[in-house]
Amino acid sequence: MSGLHHINGRQLMFIITGGQVGTAMLALPAILSREAGQHAWICVLLGAIVPILNVIIIEKLGSRHLGLNVVQLFQALLGRVLGYAMIIVFIIYLALSAIYFIDAFARLIQLFMLPRTPFWITVLLAMVCIVYAGSKGGQVVGRINETLFFGLVLSLIAIVIPALYHHDPTNLLPLGELDARELLRGIFYSIFAFAGTEILLVLYSQVDKPEQVKSAALKGVGLSTAAYLIVTICCLLVFGAERMVRYSWPGVTILKIAQVPVLERLEFYFLAIWVGIVLRRIINVIFSAALAIAQLFKAEDKIASIMLLIGAAIFSGSFISPTVMQYDVLLEYFSIVYLLIGMLLPLLLLLISWFRKEVFDVGA
Protein backbone atom coordinates (compact mmCIF):
# COMPACT_ATOMS: atom_id res chain seq x y z
CA MET A 1 0.00 0.00 0.00
CA SER A 2 1.41 3.32 -1.03
CA GLY A 3 1.84 5.74 1.87
CA LEU A 4 0.78 8.54 -0.46
CA HIS A 5 -2.73 7.14 -0.70
CA HIS A 6 -3.37 5.63 2.72
CA ILE A 7 -6.27 6.96 4.79
CA ASN A 8 -7.48 6.36 8.33
CA GLY A 9 -10.87 5.12 9.49
CA ARG A 10 -12.22 8.59 10.29
CA GLN A 11 -11.36 9.85 6.82
CA LEU A 12 -12.98 6.78 5.27
CA MET A 13 -16.21 7.62 7.08
CA PHE A 14 -16.27 11.11 5.59
CA ILE A 15 -15.25 9.80 2.14
CA ILE A 16 -18.22 7.40 2.14
CA THR A 17 -20.57 10.24 3.09
CA GLY A 18 -18.95 12.50 0.51
CA GLY A 19 -19.30 9.78 -2.13
CA GLN A 20 -23.06 9.59 -1.54
CA VAL A 21 -24.30 13.12 -0.88
CA GLY A 22 -24.39 15.52 -3.83
CA THR A 23 -26.97 16.99 -6.20
CA ALA A 24 -29.34 14.15 -5.31
CA MET A 25 -29.87 15.80 -1.93
CA LEU A 26 -31.63 18.68 -3.69
CA ALA A 27 -33.77 16.63 -6.10
CA LEU A 28 -34.58 13.45 -4.18
CA PRO A 29 -37.51 14.79 -2.09
CA ALA A 30 -39.55 15.61 -5.23
CA ILE A 31 -38.72 12.29 -6.89
CA LEU A 32 -39.73 10.26 -3.84
CA SER A 33 -42.85 12.36 -3.20
CA ARG A 34 -44.00 11.70 -6.76
CA GLU A 35 -43.74 7.96 -6.12
CA ALA A 36 -44.67 7.60 -2.45
CA GLY A 37 -46.39 10.86 -1.48
CA GLN A 38 -46.04 11.80 2.18
CA HIS A 39 -44.20 8.53 2.81
CA ALA A 40 -41.15 9.76 0.89
CA TRP A 41 -39.09 9.87 4.08
CA ILE A 42 -39.78 6.17 4.67
CA CYS A 43 -38.27 5.44 1.24
CA VAL A 44 -35.06 7.14 2.38
CA LEU A 45 -34.80 4.89 5.44
CA LEU A 46 -35.56 1.70 3.53
CA GLY A 47 -33.33 2.71 0.61
CA ALA A 48 -30.40 2.95 3.02
CA ILE A 49 -30.55 -0.83 3.47
CA VAL A 50 -28.89 -1.29 0.05
CA PRO A 51 -25.67 0.65 0.81
CA ILE A 52 -25.52 -0.94 4.28
CA LEU A 53 -25.56 -4.40 2.69
CA ASN A 54 -23.04 -3.19 0.12
CA VAL A 55 -20.62 -2.09 2.83
CA ILE A 56 -20.99 -5.38 4.71
CA ILE A 57 -20.33 -7.39 1.54
CA ILE A 58 -17.28 -5.38 0.48
CA GLU A 59 -15.84 -5.36 4.01
CA LYS A 60 -16.27 -9.13 4.27
CA LEU A 61 -14.61 -9.56 0.89
CA GLY A 62 -11.70 -7.28 1.76
CA SER A 63 -11.13 -8.86 5.16
CA ARG A 64 -10.79 -12.28 3.50
CA HIS A 65 -8.09 -10.98 1.16
CA LEU A 66 -6.03 -8.55 3.22
CA GLY A 67 -3.07 -7.06 1.40
CA LEU A 68 -4.65 -7.26 -2.07
CA ASN A 69 -5.67 -4.10 -3.89
CA VAL A 70 -8.77 -4.07 -6.07
CA VAL A 71 -6.93 -5.18 -9.23
CA GLN A 72 -5.19 -8.07 -7.48
CA LEU A 73 -8.49 -9.04 -5.86
CA PHE A 74 -10.35 -9.20 -9.18
CA GLN A 75 -7.61 -11.21 -10.85
CA ALA A 76 -7.22 -13.59 -7.90
CA LEU A 77 -10.93 -14.46 -7.90
CA LEU A 78 -11.84 -14.15 -11.60
CA GLY A 79 -8.59 -15.11 -13.27
CA ARG A 80 -6.12 -12.84 -15.02
CA VAL A 81 -8.09 -12.20 -18.24
CA LEU A 82 -11.63 -11.96 -16.81
CA GLY A 83 -10.34 -10.05 -13.80
CA TYR A 84 -8.62 -7.56 -16.10
CA ALA A 85 -11.81 -7.14 -18.12
CA MET A 86 -14.01 -6.63 -15.06
CA ILE A 87 -11.72 -4.04 -13.51
CA ILE A 88 -11.90 -2.11 -16.78
CA VAL A 89 -15.71 -2.33 -16.64
CA PHE A 90 -15.64 -1.07 -13.06
CA ILE A 91 -13.38 1.85 -13.97
CA ILE A 92 -15.65 2.80 -16.90
CA TYR A 93 -18.64 2.66 -14.54
CA LEU A 94 -16.91 5.08 -12.16
CA ALA A 95 -16.01 7.42 -15.03
CA LEU A 96 -19.58 7.44 -16.39
CA SER A 97 -20.87 8.14 -12.88
CA ALA A 98 -18.52 11.12 -12.68
CA ILE A 99 -19.82 12.43 -16.01
CA TYR A 100 -23.37 12.21 -14.72
CA PHE A 101 -22.48 14.02 -11.49
CA ILE A 102 -20.48 16.80 -13.17
CA ASP A 103 -23.26 17.36 -15.71
CA ALA A 104 -25.92 17.71 -13.00
CA PHE A 105 -23.61 19.98 -11.00
CA ALA A 106 -22.87 22.32 -13.93
CA ARG A 107 -26.51 22.61 -15.02
CA LEU A 108 -27.65 23.39 -11.49
CA ILE A 109 -24.98 26.07 -11.17
CA GLN A 110 -26.18 27.58 -14.44
CA LEU A 111 -29.80 27.48 -13.30
CA PHE A 112 -29.40 29.14 -9.91
CA MET A 113 -26.08 30.98 -9.85
CA LEU A 114 -24.40 31.64 -13.21
CA PRO A 115 -27.08 31.65 -15.93
CA ARG A 116 -24.89 33.56 -18.40
CA THR A 117 -21.77 31.46 -17.90
CA PRO A 118 -21.20 28.92 -20.69
CA PHE A 119 -21.64 25.30 -19.68
CA TRP A 120 -18.11 24.33 -20.68
CA ILE A 121 -16.53 26.99 -18.49
CA THR A 122 -18.42 25.75 -15.43
CA VAL A 123 -17.35 22.18 -16.14
CA LEU A 124 -13.75 23.21 -16.84
CA LEU A 125 -13.39 25.16 -13.60
CA ALA A 126 -14.88 22.27 -11.65
CA MET A 127 -12.57 19.75 -13.32
CA VAL A 128 -9.48 21.87 -12.59
CA CYS A 129 -10.33 21.77 -8.86
CA ILE A 130 -11.15 18.07 -8.97
CA VAL A 131 -8.00 17.03 -10.85
CA TYR A 132 -5.77 19.17 -8.64
CA ALA A 133 -7.25 17.74 -5.43
CA GLY A 134 -7.10 14.13 -6.62
CA SER A 135 -3.56 14.49 -7.94
CA LYS A 136 -2.32 15.16 -4.39
CA GLY A 137 -3.14 11.61 -3.33
CA GLY A 138 -5.42 9.74 -0.96
CA GLN A 139 -4.29 11.57 2.15
CA VAL A 140 -5.34 14.92 0.71
CA VAL A 141 -8.63 13.51 -0.60
CA GLY A 142 -9.33 12.19 2.90
CA ARG A 143 -8.62 15.57 4.50
CA ILE A 144 -10.79 17.38 1.93
CA ASN A 145 -13.74 15.10 2.73
CA GLU A 146 -13.17 15.56 6.43
CA THR A 147 -13.09 19.35 6.14
CA LEU A 148 -16.02 19.72 3.73
CA PHE A 149 -18.25 17.57 5.93
CA PHE A 150 -18.77 20.67 8.05
CA GLY A 151 -20.02 22.40 4.90
CA LEU A 152 -22.66 19.68 4.66
CA VAL A 153 -23.68 20.36 8.26
CA LEU A 154 -24.04 24.09 7.51
CA SER A 155 -26.10 23.39 4.38
CA LEU A 156 -28.47 21.17 6.35
CA ILE A 157 -28.88 23.91 8.95
CA ALA A 158 -29.76 26.32 6.13
CA ILE A 159 -32.50 23.94 4.94
CA VAL A 160 -33.85 23.38 8.45
CA ILE A 161 -34.22 27.13 9.13
CA PRO A 162 -37.07 27.71 6.61
CA ALA A 163 -38.84 24.61 7.91
CA LEU A 164 -38.84 26.12 11.39
CA TYR A 165 -40.64 29.24 10.16
CA HIS A 166 -42.97 27.72 7.56
CA HIS A 167 -44.10 24.18 8.29
CA ASP A 168 -47.29 22.18 8.41
CA PRO A 169 -46.99 18.89 10.35
CA THR A 170 -50.13 17.56 8.64
CA ASN A 171 -48.09 17.32 5.42
CA LEU A 172 -46.60 14.14 6.88
CA LEU A 173 -50.02 12.58 7.46
CA PRO A 174 -51.50 10.05 7.20
CA LEU A 175 -48.71 7.75 8.26
CA GLY A 176 -50.70 4.65 7.36
CA GLU A 177 -52.21 3.60 4.05
CA LEU A 178 -48.85 2.53 2.64
CA ASP A 179 -49.05 1.27 -0.92
CA ALA A 180 -46.38 -1.42 -1.27
CA ARG A 181 -45.94 -0.83 -4.99
CA GLU A 182 -45.47 2.92 -4.60
CA LEU A 183 -43.12 2.37 -1.69
CA LEU A 184 -40.97 -0.02 -3.72
CA ARG A 185 -40.82 2.48 -6.57
CA GLY A 186 -39.70 5.15 -4.16
CA ILE A 187 -37.04 2.87 -2.66
CA PHE A 188 -35.79 2.05 -6.16
CA TYR A 189 -35.34 5.74 -6.97
CA SER A 190 -33.60 6.35 -3.65
CA ILE A 191 -30.94 3.82 -4.62
CA PHE A 192 -29.29 6.25 -7.06
CA ALA A 193 -28.84 8.73 -4.22
CA PHE A 194 -27.02 6.16 -2.09
CA ALA A 195 -24.65 5.02 -4.83
CA GLY A 196 -21.08 5.65 -3.76
CA THR A 197 -20.29 2.83 -1.33
CA GLU A 198 -18.83 0.81 -4.21
CA ILE A 199 -15.68 2.94 -4.11
CA LEU A 200 -14.88 0.98 -0.95
CA LEU A 201 -13.72 -1.80 -3.30
CA VAL A 202 -10.82 0.47 -4.29
CA LEU A 203 -10.25 2.20 -0.97
CA TYR A 204 -10.34 -0.84 1.33
CA SER A 205 -6.68 -1.68 0.71
CA GLN A 206 -5.72 1.95 1.43
CA VAL A 207 -7.11 2.07 4.98
CA ASP A 208 -4.28 1.86 7.51
CA LYS A 209 -6.32 -0.18 9.99
CA PRO A 210 -8.62 -2.65 8.15
CA GLU A 211 -10.43 -3.54 11.37
CA GLN A 212 -11.92 -0.02 11.35
CA VAL A 213 -13.35 -0.24 7.83
CA LYS A 214 -16.73 -1.73 8.65
CA SER A 215 -17.53 0.63 11.50
CA ALA A 216 -16.28 3.72 9.64
CA ALA A 217 -18.11 2.90 6.39
CA LEU A 218 -21.40 2.13 8.17
CA LYS A 219 -21.13 5.42 10.08
CA GLY A 220 -20.58 7.15 6.75
CA VAL A 221 -23.78 5.60 5.35
CA GLY A 222 -25.57 6.64 8.53
CA LEU A 223 -24.50 10.28 8.05
CA SER A 224 -25.66 10.19 4.41
CA THR A 225 -29.01 8.73 5.43
CA ALA A 226 -29.44 11.43 8.07
CA ALA A 227 -28.70 14.15 5.48
CA TYR A 228 -31.23 12.82 2.96
CA LEU A 229 -33.81 12.26 5.69
CA ILE A 230 -33.49 15.80 7.07
CA VAL A 231 -33.86 17.39 3.62
CA THR A 232 -36.82 15.18 2.66
CA ILE A 233 -38.72 15.81 5.89
CA CYS A 234 -38.07 19.57 5.77
CA CYS A 235 -39.31 19.80 2.17
CA LEU A 236 -42.41 17.76 3.04
CA LEU A 237 -43.16 20.00 6.01
CA VAL A 238 -42.93 23.16 3.90
CA PHE A 239 -44.40 22.08 0.55
CA GLY A 240 -46.37 18.90 1.14
CA ALA A 241 -46.07 15.95 -1.23
CA GLU A 242 -48.55 17.18 -3.87
CA ARG A 243 -47.04 20.63 -4.19
CA MET A 244 -43.43 19.49 -4.02
CA VAL A 245 -43.61 17.43 -7.22
CA ARG A 246 -43.89 20.70 -9.17
CA TYR A 247 -40.28 21.55 -8.33
CA SER A 248 -37.25 19.86 -9.87
CA TRP A 249 -34.92 21.02 -7.08
CA PRO A 250 -37.01 21.42 -3.89
CA GLY A 251 -33.85 21.43 -1.77
CA VAL A 252 -33.03 24.83 -3.29
CA THR A 253 -36.58 26.08 -3.81
CA ILE A 254 -37.32 25.75 -0.09
CA LEU A 255 -34.73 28.48 0.48
CA LYS A 256 -36.32 30.77 -2.11
CA ILE A 257 -39.97 30.32 -1.21
CA ALA A 258 -39.79 30.03 2.56
CA GLN A 259 -38.61 33.54 3.48
CA VAL A 260 -36.67 33.87 6.71
CA PRO A 261 -36.54 37.15 8.65
CA VAL A 262 -33.13 38.93 8.55
CA LEU A 263 -31.56 36.23 6.34
CA GLU A 264 -32.49 37.28 2.81
CA ARG A 265 -31.41 35.29 -0.25
CA LEU A 266 -30.60 32.31 1.93
CA GLU A 267 -30.22 30.14 -1.18
CA PHE A 268 -27.18 32.17 -2.28
CA TYR A 269 -25.24 31.30 0.88
CA PHE A 270 -26.43 27.72 0.67
CA LEU A 271 -25.28 27.21 -2.91
CA ALA A 272 -21.89 28.75 -2.15
CA ILE A 273 -21.37 26.04 0.49
CA TRP A 274 -23.04 23.34 -1.59
CA VAL A 275 -20.53 23.71 -4.46
CA GLY A 276 -17.82 22.16 -2.29
CA ILE A 277 -20.14 19.38 -1.16
CA VAL A 278 -20.88 18.26 -4.71
CA LEU A 279 -17.29 18.57 -5.90
CA ARG A 280 -16.35 16.30 -3.01
CA ARG A 281 -18.53 13.53 -4.42
CA ILE A 282 -16.99 13.88 -7.88
CA ILE A 283 -13.46 13.97 -6.46
CA ASN A 284 -14.05 10.69 -4.64
CA VAL A 285 -15.35 8.88 -7.71
CA ILE A 286 -12.64 10.15 -10.09
CA PHE A 287 -9.86 9.53 -7.57
CA SER A 288 -11.11 5.96 -7.07
CA ALA A 289 -11.07 5.40 -10.83
CA ALA A 290 -7.57 6.90 -11.12
CA LEU A 291 -6.26 4.79 -8.24
CA ALA A 292 -7.68 1.62 -9.81
CA ILE A 293 -5.95 2.48 -13.10
CA ALA A 294 -2.71 3.22 -11.23
CA GLN A 295 -2.89 -0.16 -9.51
CA LEU A 296 -3.72 -1.86 -12.80
CA PHE A 297 -0.53 -0.53 -14.41
CA LYS A 298 1.51 -0.51 -11.18
CA ALA A 299 1.96 3.24 -11.41
CA GLU A 300 0.64 4.62 -8.12
CA ASP A 301 3.31 7.28 -8.17
CA LYS A 302 1.84 8.59 -11.45
CA ILE A 303 -1.56 9.41 -9.97
CA ALA A 304 -1.33 13.07 -11.01
CA SER A 305 -0.89 12.20 -14.69
CA ILE A 306 -3.69 9.64 -14.52
CA MET A 307 -6.02 12.15 -12.86
CA LEU A 308 -5.26 14.62 -15.65
CA LEU A 309 -6.09 12.07 -18.36
CA ILE A 310 -9.32 10.98 -16.67
CA GLY A 311 -10.27 14.62 -16.08
CA ALA A 312 -9.82 15.38 -19.79
CA ALA A 313 -11.94 12.36 -20.72
CA ILE A 314 -14.73 13.31 -18.32
CA PHE A 315 -14.64 16.94 -19.47
CA SER A 316 -15.17 15.75 -23.04
CA GLY A 317 -17.86 13.27 -22.02
CA SER A 318 -19.82 15.92 -20.12
CA PHE A 319 -20.90 17.50 -23.41
CA ILE A 320 -22.96 14.43 -24.25
CA SER A 321 -25.70 15.84 -22.05
CA PRO A 322 -29.27 14.57 -21.65
CA THR A 323 -32.32 16.76 -21.98
CA VAL A 324 -34.43 17.48 -18.93
CA MET A 325 -37.01 14.90 -20.10
CA GLN A 326 -34.35 12.19 -20.10
CA TYR A 327 -33.23 12.62 -16.51
CA ASP A 328 -35.83 10.25 -15.05
CA VAL A 329 -34.76 7.57 -17.51
CA LEU A 330 -31.12 8.16 -16.57
CA LEU A 331 -31.96 7.79 -12.89
CA GLU A 332 -33.55 4.41 -13.57
CA TYR A 333 -30.56 3.23 -15.58
CA PHE A 334 -28.14 4.57 -12.97
CA SER A 335 -29.93 2.71 -10.19
CA ILE A 336 -29.91 -0.53 -12.19
CA VAL A 337 -26.24 -0.21 -13.14
CA TYR A 338 -25.31 0.56 -9.53
CA LEU A 339 -27.13 -2.59 -8.39
CA LEU A 340 -25.40 -4.68 -11.06
CA ILE A 341 -21.85 -3.34 -10.75
CA GLY A 342 -21.73 -1.70 -7.36
CA MET A 343 -23.77 -4.29 -5.46
CA LEU A 344 -23.96 -7.63 -7.30
CA LEU A 345 -20.35 -7.65 -8.51
CA PRO A 346 -18.89 -7.52 -4.97
CA LEU A 347 -21.46 -10.14 -3.92
CA LEU A 348 -20.36 -12.40 -6.79
CA LEU A 349 -16.72 -11.96 -5.80
CA LEU A 350 -17.55 -12.82 -2.19
CA LEU A 351 -19.43 -15.96 -3.24
CA ILE A 352 -16.48 -17.03 -5.40
CA SER A 353 -14.14 -16.40 -2.47
CA TRP A 354 -16.27 -18.56 -0.18
CA PHE A 355 -16.61 -21.32 -2.77
CA ARG A 356 -12.89 -21.48 -3.50
CA LYS A 357 -12.08 -21.57 0.21
CA GLU A 358 -14.47 -24.48 0.71
CA VAL A 359 -12.98 -26.33 -2.27
CA PHE A 360 -9.47 -25.70 -0.89
CA ASP A 361 -10.47 -27.03 2.52
CA VAL A 362 -11.96 -30.19 1.01
CA GLY A 363 -8.88 -30.74 -1.16
CA ALA A 364 -6.65 -30.36 1.86
pLDDT along the chain (364 residues), means of 10: 75 95 89 90 93 96 93 93 95 92 88 87 94 92 93 91 87 79 87 90 93 96 96 94 89 78 70 86 95 92 93 89 55 84 93 75 41
Grouping H, G, I as helix, E, B as strand and the rest as coil, residue 7 is strand
Tell me the C-alpha distance between 284 and 21, whole Å: 11
Distance spanning both ends of the chain, measured CA to CA: 31
Which pLDDT belongs to residue 364? 37
DSSP 323: P
**Radius of gyration of the chain from Cα atoms?**
21
Residues 6+ apart with CB under 8 A from 47: 186, 187, 190, 191, 193, 194
Tell me the C-alpha distance between 56 and 309, whole Å: 33
Neighbours of 192 (CB within 10 A): 24
The topology (CATH level 3) of 3-353 is Amino acid/polyamine transporter I (1.20.1740)
pTM of the model: 0.91
Tell me the C-alpha distance between 314 and 32, whole Å: 29
DSSP 298: T
- Angle CA(337)–CA(341)–CA(342) in degrees, nearest 5? 100
Neighbours of 167 (CB within 10 A): 17
The amino acid that residue 122 corresponds to is T
Tell me the C-alpha distance between 76 and 126, whole Å: 37
